[in-house]
Amino acid sequence: MRVKEILRTATQAWSPAAQHPARLALGTAAQQLDASFNTSSALEIFEVDFADTSLDMKLRGTLFHSLIWVAFDPEGSSGRLIGGSESGSVTVFSPDAILGVGEDAVIGQSHKHTGPVRALDYNRFQSNLVASGASDSEIYIWDLNNFSNPMTPGTKAQPAEDVSVVAWNSQVQHILASANPSGKAIVWDLRKNEPIIKISDHSNRMHCSGMLWHPDVATQLVLASEDDRLPVIQMWDLRFATSPLKVLESHTRGILSISWSQADPELLLSSGKDNRILCWNPNTGEVIYELPTANQWCFDVQWCPRNPALLSAASFDGRISVYSVMGGRLQHSDPFGTGQTLPPLQVPQPSVETTIVPPLKKPPKWVRRPVGASFAFGGKLVTFENPSVAPQQQPIARQVQVSQVTTETEFLQRSAELQAALQSGSFTSFCHDKIRSAPSDAEQDIWRFLTVNFEDEARVKFLRLLGFSKDELQRKVSDQTTISACLGRSHHPNGLDVNDLAEKMQTLSDQVCVSCAVNHCMLVLLYLMLNRPIREQRTDTDGLISQALLVGNFEGAVDLCLNDGRYAEAILLSISGGEELLKKTQQHYLQRQTNSLISSVVTQNWRDIVQSCELDNWKEALAALLTYANPEEFAPLCDTLGSRLQAGGTEKRCLQACLCFICSGNIERLVECWTSQRDCSSPLALEDLVEKVMVLRKSIERLRNGEVCVQSSALTERLVQYSSILASQGSLTSALRYLPDCPDQVHTLIHIYICVPALPENYTPPAPITAPVMGFPAEAPVPQDRIQVPPGAPQEPSKQSLQQLPAEHVGQKEIPAEHMILKTTFSSLVQRCQLAAADPQTKRKLDDASKRLESLYDKLRDQALSPSILGGLHEISRCVSARNYQQGLEVHTQVVSSSNFSEISAFMPVLKVLMTIANKLAV
């Protein structure tokens, strides 16, 4: 894309890369007519100002003569401009003086050459050294510090010819090359002051118009031919100088100018008499870019040293154009400047131009990363670098390094401790360690409750943790001093001795026979009455009770006792009156009591107490459940109490609820409650949760003597997150162990076999999933009602008629003989597990596995499995036959990680579940 333009017919030179802003020096020859009909020679310096949105370039200075620019900076100046004239003079100018006003710009001048000076170049290692070439094989080496006395590289070449090009080597500072129009090139060694090699084209049609050294390879150079009969660019390697290494052929007429990008050796510009400006990749010989040009020859093209995306082109139509190869827009800031931000570039398009120029097909080297680092799966850090190469050395291959990066050291340590406890079964010691290191009392309580699940008499020990001890309570009850202190020796106003009544009730409770109990009740009441004075026809309460008893009216006697507040006597009498009277008396008594615990103990209604008790009394409620609730109701009642506590919303209530869920063994509710108050996004916080979940799960498996599969989306999400962190830290084997393995959790299986595989050394990424995940096509929906069809239309056969049709035998392929061992082994494993399985959940898994294995057998019949998968299946079969399920699971992981998941998704998850169950059942 054209970004700037100058109406001149002139030679050009860019300012050195270190100069900011970038400038372009133009030298016009005498008698060359320009747009203003001015025929004077001139040297002008223009500034490339992208803040100006027009195509014009600002003229910063002018001087009459012809020049090119040299990067020589003795005292912080803008370098030097070296010009060669038709008269043979070589003149040195100061760009700073040209840019200034009224200063003498000429620093030095020499007339050593006898003919026109057409070739100039400067040394990249010693910028004070300049080479010039003229007619009659004249080559001089100038020292800008002592310009008056040049030297020659050696004896003049014979026969004498004009020197059209001189070029310093880009890698070796004492090597200089010169070329003649006849196509001959000579390489000079300035240390020896003699030529060391000569190259020439054997076709004798090579008219050399340009020569350039390779920016990186010291022994390679290119020659451009101006001859229309041979419009080529030849690439030579001095180590094989008998013929060109490569010939670039796309121009149809002679080449006028070439320029090799110092920022990217894969970009070589050329302009020719066919009105084309081409950009080559000299390594491949491919034209990778072509600039739009007018119908005029471009006699000079040059890359900008400062901004490698820019190039300038001078044509015979009187235009100097600046182009960008980045596809039509420059960066808003100058990335090669001093850090000063430039205004946004707005390049106007002339109305006559409608061509849109695309960018380079391949990103140029200056926008590629010479070094880089990227994090990969499994906590791997992949790095590469661009090692510096000394001059005269061949470039060395860059190495890619893969390192393991671990950022969560404490997380990995705790995860390893948990994994060790899970494998060894030392859960009690693991819990004790957690109790000792717990940061708070609440954390200690949780781990104490988790520890109890691995001990005998768990309910009794839960009571102790809640602060209730049966032994301590029994000691207090049996201590008469304590009873006296609590109750005193108080008597009922009517003379009832409480302790005496308690002894008689104890005597009653020791009897087994109901009739004996009735007799004892009667004896107690008679004792009470006979030890009091009896008056005839007493009308007080005692008298009425006695008369009711004498006539056998127990119900009336009970009512009298209740009305008088004699609840103990009422209970004793109701026992004698039968079951219905006893229930009525209990109900009357409980209605007057404020202690709901007594009511619950008597009526065995624990749901009321957990639903209505004060939350501050949660310990008492949980203790009552631990003491009285039967095993079938215990877990739901604990969950109910825990739900009420969780609904409180505070962190304290949620921790109390967690204790209830631990008692009930409800892993799902424990996860929900814990995460509702704790942020588990960080690795260590997630580790806290996983430790509790895995320990509680193992305790439940111990109590149930079987595998526990928790159907919890919240837990699955946390375990997948936990496994991802493990995988990111390089612990891939552990990551696989924590992922859920329930067959119906398809999304989790995808994480298992795609997201966190254990990578072998020769790992190749799996192909994208294109088939259904589990390998089963969806069944078509069955219509509930038949669709009404027009009369006379063909009717679909009914279900009944289909059932009456004779069954047609459908042939099924046989499994190849070499693979029958797979079906025999896996089917036998399913049968062994079914015989040993005790819990319904495991049996359901085995039934499902038996059905899903049919997909494996179908693939074996169709021979649809790759040799690598078949080899892995046979290895798994051998491990199963040897009952080495752990090794079989390791082989299973290797097969999955190196295979196309769509091929194995229907049966490999089932094999893992099957071997896991077999390992636990030890079959």
Averaged pLDDT of the chain: 77
CA-based torsion, 150, 152, 157, 159: positive or negative? positive
796: pLDDT strictly greater than 70: no
Q: Is the dihedral of CA 651, 656, 660, 662 positive or negative?
A: positive
- The model's pTM is 0.47
Q: What's the pLDDT score for residue 340?
A: 46
Strand pairing of 286-291 and 298-303? unpaired
Cβ-defined contacts of 890-893 (< 8 Å, 24+): 893/736, 893/757, 893/758
Q: What angle do CA 838, 840, 846 make, to 5 degrees?
A: 85
Crossing angle for the helix pair 458-466 and 441-452, to the nearest 10 degrees: 160
Angle at which helices 541-550 and 554-563 cross, to 10°: 160
- Give the model's pLDDT for residue 472: 66
pLDDT digits 0-9 by tens, 752-761: 444 463 344 4
What's the rounded Cα separation, in Å, for the pair 656 and 903? 49
Which amino acid does the sequence have at 862?
A: D
- Residue 64: the pLDDT is 43
Phi-psi region of 372 (alpha: psi -120 to 50; beta: other; left: phi over 0): beta
Mean pLDDT along residues 11-22: 80
DSSP conformation letters of 136-172:
TT-EEEEETTEEEEEE-SSSPPSS-----EEEE-SS-
Q: What's the confidence (pLDDT) of residue 220?
A: 94
Confidence of residue 460 (pLDDT cuts 50, 70, 90): confident
Q: 89: exposed, middle or buried (C-beta count within 10 Å: 0-12, 13-18, 19+)? A: middle
Cα distance between residue 10 and residue 874, in whole Å: 79
For the ranges 606-615, 730-739, 809-818, 873-882, the lowest mean pLDDT is seen at 809-818
Is a pLDDT exceeding 60 seen at residue 749?
no
pLDDT for 195 equals 92
Q: Are 135 and 162 in contact (CB under 8 A)?
A: yes
787 CB burial (10 A radius; 0-12, 13-18, 19+):
exposed
pLDDT band at 240 (very low <50, low <70, confident <90, very high): confident
Higher pLDDT residue, 792 or 33?
A: 33
How does residue 555 score in pLDDT terms, banded at 50, 70 and 90?
A: confident
Residue 362: pLDDT above 90? no
- How far is it between the farthest Cα atoms of the chain? 168
pLDDT of res. 221? 95
Per residue in 191-203, pLDDT tens?
999 999 999 877 7
Least confident of 218-222, 464-468, 542-546, 553-557: 542-546
Nearest to 358 by CA among 321, 324, 307: 324
State the pLDDT at residue 143.
93
Reduced to 3 states (helix: H, G, I; strand: E, B; else coil), residue 582 is helix
Secondary structure (H, E, C), 802-832: HHHCCCCCCCCCCCCHHHHHHHHHHHHHHHH
Q: 132 pLDDT band (50/70/90 cuts)? A: very high
In this predicted structure, what is the pLDDT of residue 670? 92
Where do the H-state alpha helices sit in 291-440?
Answer: 409-424, 427-437
Select the more confidently predicted residue: 918 or 7.
918
68-70 and 58-63 beta bridge pairing: unpaired
- Can you give the pLDDT at residue 259? 95
d(CA 396, CA 389): 8
**pLDDT tier, 120 (very low <50, low <70, confident <90, very high otherwise):** very high
Q: What is the mean pLDDT of residues 450-470?
A: 86
Q: Is the pLDDT of residue 635 over 80?
A: yes
Letter string b/e over residues 90-126, b meaning 16 or more CB atoms within 10 A of that residue's CB = bbbbbbbbbeeeeeebeeeebebbeeebbbbbbbbee
Mean pLDDT of the 27-32 span:
54
- What percentage of the chain exceeds 70 in pLDDT? 73
Question: Which residues, at least 6 apart from 51, have a Cβ–Cβ distance to it below 8 Å?
Answer: 342, 343
Model confidence at 686: pLDDT above 50:
yes
Residue 376 · residue 382 · CB < 8 Å: yes
Q: Is 35 exposed, middle or buried (0-12, 13-18, 19+ CB in 10 A)?
A: exposed
Per-residue pLDDT at 102: 55
Q: What are phi and psi of 289, to 5 degrees?
A: -165, 145
Rg (CA), the chain: 50
Exposure of 438 by Cβ count < 10 A (0-12 exposed, 13-18 middle, 19+ buried)? middle
pLDDT of residue 797: 39
Residue 515 has pLDDT above 50, yes or no: no
Cβ atoms within 10 Å, residue 17: 16
Token pair 């079951």: residue: 579
Q: Please provide the distance, in angstroms rounded to a whole number, between the alpha carbons at the two ends of the chain.
A: 76
List the single range of 242-256, 364-378, 516-530, 846-860 with lowest mean pLDDT: 516-530
Lowest mean pLDDT among 684-693, 716-725, 894-903: 894-903
- Overall average pLDDT of the 260-279 stretch: 93
Which of 186-190, 467-471, 763-767 has the least mean pLDDT?
Answer: 763-767
- Does position 557 have pLDDT exceeding 90, yes or no? no
Backbone angles phi, psi at 762, to 5 degrees: -100, 45
Which pLDDT score, from 0 to 100, does residue 596 have?
Answer: 55
Higher pLDDT, 24 or 764: 24
Determine the 3-state secondary structure of 862 from DSSP.
Answer: helix
Q: Are 154 and 188 in contact (CB under 8 A)?
A: yes
Question: Is the pLDDT at 522 greater than 70, yes or no?
Answer: no
pLDDT at 768 over 60: no
> Whose CA is closest to 64, among 35, 90, 98?
98
What single DSSP character describes residue 751?
Answer: I
Q: How confident is the model at residue 427 (pLDDT cuts 50, 70, 90)?
A: very high
pLDDT digits (tens, 9 = 90+) for 850-889: 888 988 998 898 888 888 899 999 999 999 999 999 899 9
Q: Of all residues in the chain, what percent carry a pLDDT higher than 90?
A: 25
Amino acid 248: pLDDT: 95
Out of 239-243, 267-271, 451-455, 762-766, the most confident range is 267-271
Question: Which one, of 363, 178, 131, 374, lies nearest residue 263 by Cα?
Answer: 363
What tens digit of pLDDT does each residue of 580-634 get? 887 787 777 766 665 555 656 566 677 877 888 888 888 888 888 888 888 888 8
pLDDT digits (tens, 9 = 90+) for 483-510: 444 444 343 433 444 445 445 444 444 4
